[in-house]
Amino acid sequence: MVEELLRSKFLGALVGTGVGDSLGAGFEGWGRVALDKIEQVAQMRKTLTYTDDTHMMIGMAESLIRSKGFDGEDMAYSFVRNYELEPWRGYGPAPPHIFRLVRNGVSWDQAAQRFYDGGSYGNGSAMRIAPIGVFYHDKLSLLREVACESSRITHAHILGKEGAVLQACAIALATNLESPSALDRGAFLAELTDFAQDDVYRQKLATIKQILDNPDESRVVIELGHGIEAFNSVPTAIYCFLSEPGSFTRAVLLAISFGGDTDTIAAMTGAISGACLGIDSIPEQWRSKLENRHYIEELANKLYDLYLDTKKLGEK
Ligand code: RVK
Ligand code: MG
Ligand code: MG
């Protein structure tokens, strides 16, 4: 793939997370929302302020860049430090407690096991995964391992880990597409199904195929979900991308229109769509209002430079 196209996809996935998250944040907990209502609200806002989804995505990118790849302890402390600086970003219930344990000396890969039954299956480890999705897009078995390890920092339940893995894989497959016209939705879903190791996700991927083949949006919330659990939101984001593969705007608006956990479903849809279509697909009127846009772009550029360096070293 041409280098500038790939760079644009790294930028698209990271900025796409931020734009989806901040646009969706105003509609959290709503029922169905009309598309023009979402656009109107976005237009009225001076700044698009992001939430924990993007804040943790930033922490993940910072750590990958600093450590030149995945380092669990460094990534955990990256999340902890960012949380301590801006605890008001709307974090889910468990992460702040986990961060306190890590700060008090509990090992990064042990703290999350203490919460819920077998760890959390919330969508918190999938919503932040864009940097891993793009950085490991051409090494899918390594991507699986790293996505899973990164999830263990806060989400140790198998369904939490598998949600992060599936979202990372969707971003990677989207990154690998030369253009949206190269997308074969059936093949994309078949690859994700091969990658998914849990029946809950395999079943939801089969439902996505059915809904795409016989369009019926009333099935989306009922059967795919719009909730805070990874299995009730990652499949919905994948559906939104596959439903509108040629338009970042339409994919993200669709994600928000389903209501529920709108910031997170839109963040994950934005990450996949941005990875497919690149940074220029994100409307300038949204991009220019995204809080910390230049810093997020700087991180995407640094991550891409690191990807190139790592690739050159591997080729020697
Ligand atoms: C506020 C039973 C479980 C569970 C288990 C449920 C931000 C709980 C972001 C829990 C995202 C919720 C969101 C969230 C991300 C998880 N048994 N119930 N084993 N595991 N749950 O606390 O980071 O918005 O109801 O890990 O995943 O925008 O409260 O948080 O929407 O999932 O929070 O799980 O949240 P947590 P998170
Ligand atoms: Mg959030
Ligand atoms: Mg959310």
Residue 264 in contact with ligand 1 by CB distance below 6 A: yes
Global pTM reads 0.98
pLDDT value at residue 256: 98
Q: Is the pLDDT of residue 314 over 90?
A: no
pLDDT value at residue 132: 98
Q: What is the pLDDT of residues 73-127, one digit of tens each?
A: 999 999 999 999 999 999 999 999 999 999 999 999 999 999 998 899 999 999 9
Percent residues over pLDDT 70 in the chain: 100
- Average pLDDT of every residue of the chain: 97
As a whole number of angstroms, the distance between CA 245 and CA 183 comes to: 8
Are the beta carbons of 204 and 239 closer than 8 angstroms? no
Q: Is the pLDDT of residue 67 over 70?
A: yes
Candidate of 21, 57, 167, 228 to mutate for ligand 1, largest count of ligand atoms within 8 Å of Cβ: 228
As a whole number of angstroms, the distance between CA 223 and CA 208 comes to: 9
Residue 53 in contact with ligand 1 by CB distance below 6 A: yes
Residue 124 in contact with ligand 1 by CB distance below 6 A: yes
Nearest ligand to the C-alpha atom of residue 154: 1
CA of 262 from ligand 3 middle (Å) equals 6
* End-to-end Cα separation, the chain, in angstroms: 20
Domains of the chain: 3-315 (1.10.4080.10)
pLDDT value at residue 191: 97
Candidate of 120, 125, 129, 263 to mutate for ligand 1, largest count of ligand atoms within 8 Å of Cβ: 120
As a whole number of angstroms, the distance between CA 51 and CA 88 comes to: 9
Q: What is the pLDDT of residues 293-313, one digit of tens each?
A: 999 999 999 999 999 999 988
Tell the burial category of 197 from Cβ atoms under 10 Å away from its Cβ (0-12, 13-18, 19+): middle
pLDDT value at residue 69: 97
Percent residues over pLDDT 90 in the chain: 97
* Residue 187 amino acid letter: A
Q: Give, using CA atoms, the residue closest to atom 14 of ligand 1.
A: 122
CA of 288 from ligand 3 middle (Å) equals 22
Q: What is the pLDDT of residues 252-288, one digit of tens each?
A: 999 999 999 999 999 999 999 999 999 999 999 999 9
DSSP of the chain, one letter per residue? --HHHHHHHHHHHHHHHHHHHHHHGGGTT-S---HHHHHHHHHH-SSB---HHHHHHHHHHHHHHHHTS--HHHHHHHHHHHHHH-TTS---SSHHHHHHHHHTT--TTTGGGGSTTTS--BGGGTTT-HHHHHHTTT-HHHHHHHHHHHHHTT--SHHHHHHHHHHHHHHHHHHH-SSGGG--HHHHHHHHHHH--SHHHHHHHHHHHHHHHS--THHIIIII--SSBGGGTHHHHHHHHHHSTT-HHHHHHHHHHT-SSHHHHHHHHHHHHHHHH-GGGS-HHHHTTBTTHHHHHHHHHHHHHHHHHHHHHHH-
pLDDT category of residue 1 using cuts at 50, 70 and 90: confident
As a whole number of angstroms, the distance between CA 72 and CA 63 comes to: 9
Nearest to 56 by CA among 180, 151, 186: 151
Residue 297 in contact with ligand 1 by CB distance below 6 A: no
